[in-house]
Structures are given as C-alpha cells and as structure tokens.
Amino acid sequence: MTRVAIIYHSGYGHTRVQAEAVRDGARSVPGVQVDLVAVDDSPYPWEVLDRADAIIFGSPTYMAGVSAPFKAFLDATASRWAEQGWKDKLAAGFTNSAGINGDKLAALQHLALFAMQHGMVWVGLGLLPGNHSSTGTPEDLNRLASFVGAMAQSPADLGPEAGPSASDRRTAEHLGKRVARIARGWHPDAGDADRSATASTVAA
Ligand SMILES: Cc1cc2nc3c(=O)[nH]c(=O)nc-3n(C[C@H](O)[C@H](O)[C@H](O)COP(=O)(O)O)c2cc1C
C-alpha cells in the first residue's frame, strides 16, 4: 500500500480547504492511502509521517514565510533530519494567502529547502501557467502560475467559504493526484545504502 501524508496548518480555515482538496486529489488514485493531519492535532503525528512514502506540506503564507505553528513543526523534525529518517521520501508543498502574489513563493521555497535538508525528493506542480495568455481566464488550472507547488488565494476579510477559489482547489487536487501517482511507482532502493554510508561517515 502506498501512503501519502498531508500535514498542514490553517489559522482561519482557508488553507484547510486547500489541504482537503489536496487530499481529495491524492485519494482519487487507486491503491493509495491518504492521511490528512493538522499541526494543531497535538502531539505531532510522527507515526503517520514516518511510514508515508510521500509527505505533502501545507501552510498559509504569513509574513512572507510559513506560519509560526508550521515552523515549530518543521523545527521539531530536527531529530529525523539528524538520522536522515525521511531520506528518499517524496515531498511537495502548497500555500494560500490573501495577496494574489503575497510572497507565496517564499513559503513554498522554504518548504522545498526544508525537504532537501531531509534528503527528500521534491515534486513540483507539473503544470504550465494558467491565465497566462489572451485567452486565459482566472478559472484556469494553476491561475497563479506556480511551478514549485500549489498556490491559492483567499480574501483576508472573509471566511473559507469565500476562498480559495474553485480554480485554486482544482490546482490543489492536481498536486495531490500527481504526488499520489508518482508515489505509487516510487521505489527508492538506494536509500538504505546511502543512510548507512552517512552513519559510518559520522561514526568515523
Ligand atoms: C500573521 C499574518 C500574516 C500574514 N501575512 C501574509 C503575507 O505575507 N502575504 C499575504 O498575501 N497574506 C498574508 N496574510 C493573510 C493570510 O495569508 C490569509 O488570510 C490566508 O487566507 C490565511 O489562511 P488560513 O485561514 O489558513 O490561516 C497574513 C495573515 C496573518 C494572520
């Protein structure tokens, strides 16, 4: 059984809607079990994350980065980092913010660099930009024209019923489906050997 875990934070519910869309996309792939967990479901769900073949990370963009609760979770993974326990798992990311741009890219870059520090293999969105030509519309898939992960936008003064938009939710679904499909065929044989090499180098 292929396992995909989605872990996210949402202060006001908008990023939760995006996370649920990522989940719906992932679980549309046969043979894939999907776990959706929020970082405020304490304690952190280590067992779910450790057994996953792929982990999809999601945070609102707050102050041009990930939110403080999500950063606390990222920092709490340091012992996994030290053992490279998540090495060769797949990783991907999504973010939602109020601005059309809003510096969402900074949050996604943070997640991608975090995954690389763990030795994970980053899966980008895999879509051409939407709403990008004279015939494009805001209803297009990937209307916010991201490559590194899924972006969504929600009005700052309204609740999650007002955003993310249908297009952003479909983009999030696409990311979940893409990661699940890739995870189903992902068999990183070299991972254990690399981990032993790292451990013996440290011991020497
Ligand atoms: C502390 C804080 C910082 C924020 N910083 C940004 C920002 O840098 N860029 C942006 O576009 N929106 C920013 N926002 C707006 C949120 O990203 C936006 O309201 C988002 O939909 C919240 O998602 P959530 O409901 O999942 O928490 C910020 C909101 C808060 C509360």
Main-chain dihedrals φ then ψ at residue 96, nearest 5 degrees: -135, 140
pLDDT given at position 193: 53
Q: Ligand 1 pocket by C-beta < 6 Å: which residues?
A: 10-15, 60-64, 96-99, 102-103, 154, 156
Query: How much is the pLDDT for 97?
Result: 98
pLDDT of residue 197: 52
Dihedral sign for Cα atoms in the order 71, 73, 75, 81:
negative
How high is the pLDDT of residue 42? 74
* Two tokens, residue 155: 């009005």
Query: What is the distance in A from the centroid of ligand 1 to the CA of 81?
Result: 28
Among the listed residues 46, 68, 21, the one whose alpha carbon sits nearest the alpha carbon of residue 178: 21
Choosing from 62, 94, 168 the residue with most ligand 1 atoms within 8 A of its CB, the one to mutate for a pocket test is 62
Asked if 123 and 90 touch (Cβ cutoff 8 Å), the reply is yes
List the residue whose alpha carbon is closest to atom 4 of ligand 1.
62
**Mind listing the pLDDT tens digit for each residue in 38-66?**
998 679 999 999 999 999 999 999 999 99
| Segments in 42-129 forming alpha helices (H) | 46-51, 68-76, 78-83, 104-117
Q: Which CATH class is domain 2-203?
A: alpha beta
Low-confidence ranges of the chain (pLDDT < 70): 41, 190-204
Domain ranges of the chain: 2-203
Residue 203 has a pLDDT of: 46
Token readout for 161 is: 């019923």
What is the Å distance from ligand 1's center to 62 Cα? 5
In contact, 142 and 128? CB cutoff 8 Å: yes
